[in-house]
Structure formats: structure tokens, C-alpha cells
Amino acid sequence: MLRRLLVLSVLLLACTAFSATAGAAPANSPRADVIPATCDGQQVEFIVIGNGAFSPGHVAGTTSVFVPYSIDITVTFTPEGGGEPFVESDSATKPAPATDLMTCDINFSATFPGEGTVSFVGTVTGFFTPR
């Protein structure tokens, strides 16, 4: 169960952390998650929906979209009540060169009652639209 939860958490971040639709009010989607980040010293919330490591993420409260180029994330699962934490890292980069990129830091955690806490720490590099 612990391994399945960790794999699910890694997939949640790696495959959906930066995907969203440009439709109206994506935060109201039942599948939407909010991922806080710090980009160039400024707090940003990405609304994540869908699946794809390099899918764009809607920036909450704006019409802007963040298009990721590379991702470097470490996921740590700590079981409820103690126990040995499980740590897994993932990184990926698009093969095409990109310019004018910004790096966003991610550092947040989510608690699943009866299971434990999953924390996500790392960076995502990309650009905001419009450029």
C-alpha cells in the first residue's frame, strides 16, 4: 500500500504537476489540484489538471500559463506514526533548447489521514505565456 501511494504521488506530480486547461475556472474542476511555487521570488499557484509531464499549467487568478521545459523533483513519503521515509527523485528535460526560461521552486506537502505525508521539493524550469 505504501509503495502504491508513493507511486501515485510521484505520478501525480510528475505527470500532472503542470498541466491544466485554459477553460473557465479550472480550479472548480473536481480533478484540480493547486501546486504552490515560488518563481523569481514571487508566490504563484499552478492549477493542475490532466496528465503529461510537460503539459502547461494554468496560473491561478490570471490568464497566464506556465509551459515547463525541465523538472527536477524529490518526493518523500513519511508514514503516519513514524517509520522509515521513502524517497524518490525524478528529473526530465525536453530535448529542444529553450531560451528566456524561469525556474520555479516547489516545496509543499500533503497529508493523507491514516497513511502519512507526502512532500514535494524541487524545481521546474519553463516560461510563462504570453511571452
Question: Do 107 and 121 form a contact (C-beta atoms < 8 A)?
Answer: yes
In 3-state terms the chain splits into helix, strand, coil percentages (rounded to 5) of: 15, 50, 35
| C-alpha closest to that of 94 among 42, 52, 131, 45 | 52
Least confident of 2-11, 19-28, 48-57, 70-79: 2-11
Q: Return the C-alpha cell found at 69.
A: 521545459
Number of domains in the chain: 1
50 φ, ψ to 5°? 95, -160
For the stretch 71-123, pLDDT in tens is 999 999 999 988 899 999 989 998 877 788 999 999 989 898 999 999 999 99
Question: Do 68 and 129 form a contact (C-beta atoms < 8 A)?
Answer: no
Q: Residue 72's domain spans which residues?
A: 2-129
Question: Do 54 and 65 form a contact (C-beta atoms < 8 A)?
Answer: no
Q: Return the C-alpha cell found at 30.
A: 473536481
pLDDT at 27: 60
pTM: 0.71
| C-alpha closest to that of 87 among 102, 96, 75, 72 | 75
